[in-house]
A = this chain, B = another copy of it.
Amino acid sequence: MKTGWIGLGAMGAPMAGHLHAAGLLHGAWNRGAARRDAFADAYPDAAVAESPEALAEAVDVLALCVSADADLAAVLDRVADRLAPGTVVVDHSTVSPAAARSAHARLTQREVAFVDAPVTGGVEGAKNGQLAILVGGDAEAVQTLHPLFDAYGKVWKHLGPPGSGQAAKAVNQLIVAGIAEAVCEALALVEKLDLPADDMLELLGGGAAGNWFLDKRGRTMLADSFETGFEPALLLKDLKICRALADEAGLESTVLPGAIADYQRLVDGGETGRDISALIRLKR
């Protein structure tokens, strides 16, 4: 199987790296040159493609890990006509279920399969190949992708028709945002009350408040470091997808309006660092 990879960001680069280590990566490409160069430096024996068009013509599977609906559409504009019938496109970006269904419809016309497969587990999960993968699409195409999922996934599930993976990811992000709000407020309160930080991290993590975000980000937040992780602007994009889905489904959410307002304020203020834990700055 020859796999191409488009999108070498904080998640995409280590994922493509795992694919390369598994001997499955034919070539990788990124829109911005800086990340192409960084990938070439990190994996000197991996091939960086000249263009997405060239990559699309050379592979059996094309994996994408870009940012938003518009980025997915822009990639498809460039590659759709170059993909041979029978090719499988798998998108690891987080986009709206509607964008995934639209991509599926567009490629199906060309006898190309499209699978939506957003991931969760953070940059840590991408680096150590321990991602959870949320998969929507046609069963036969999903079957083709097992070797890829094995390369960077800890657990993956085929959840239903096209768009199901993205719907599931929106649900995931609702939890991620709710936890981020609660933990950022709690640790701001720890600071304000002058409670001993290290002891509090151990106690909070050891009981019914325990969660991934506190475990992975608690210490860095309290050290005012927001260098590693998941960018606030991306979570904000995901939460707007989730709000649309919740509205459609008739869920009256308490969490989403507050989280969207807070992350909008954080992003507008500009002091976001590279991780959603920077929300603590609003709470101090």
Which residues in A have some Cβ–Cβ distance to B below 8 Å? Answer: 119-122, 125, 131-134, 154-157, 159-160, 164, 167-168, 170-179, 181-183, 185-186, 188-190, 192-196, 199-200, 202-204, 206-214, 216, 230, 245-246, 249-256, 258-259, 261-262, 283
Q: Write the nearest CB–CB distance from A154 to chain B, whole angstroms.
A: 6
Q: A181-B178, A182-B175 are in contact. Are A159 and B199 (CB under 8 A)?
A: yes
Q: A207 CA to B179 CA in the complex, in Å?
A: 13
Q: A179 CA to B173 CA in the complex, in Å?
A: 12
Q: A179-B179, A259-B254 are in contact. Are A172 and B206 (CB under 8 A)?
A: no
Q: What are 17 sample pairs from A and B whose C-beta atoms fall under 8 A apart? A: A120-B207, A121-B208, A122-B208, A131-B207, A132-B203, A156-B203, A157-B203, A159-B195, A171-B190, A175-B214, A179-B182, A179-B209, A181-B254, A189-B251, A208-B216, A254-B261, A255-B258
Q: A179 CA to B176 CA in the complex, in Å?
A: 9
A204 and B172 within 8 A (CB): yes
Residues of B within 8 A of A245 (CB): 189, 193
Residues of B within 8 A of A254 (CB): 181, 185, 258-259, 261-262
Residues of B within 8 A of A174 (CB): 182, 185-186, 189
Beyond A132-B202, A134-B203, A175-B211, 4 additional pairs, beta carbon < 8 A: A133-B203, A174-B189, A185-B255, A210-B211
Q: A179-B211, A212-B211, A249-B193 are in contact. Are A155 and B202 (CB under 8 A)?
A: yes
Q: Is the interface of A mostly helix, strand, loop or mixed?
A: helix
Residues of B within 8 A of A209 (CB): 120, 172-173, 175-176, 179, 212
Q: A175-B186, A175-B204, A207-B122 are in contact. Are A160 and B195 (CB under 8 A)?
A: yes
Q: Write the nearest CB–CB distance from A90 to chain B, whole angstroms.
A: 17
Residues of B within 8 A of A170 (CB): 189
Q: A125-B207, A195-B160, A254-B181 are in contact. Are A246 and B175 (CB under 8 A)?
A: no
Residues of B within 8 A of A185 (CB): 174, 178, 246, 251, 253-256
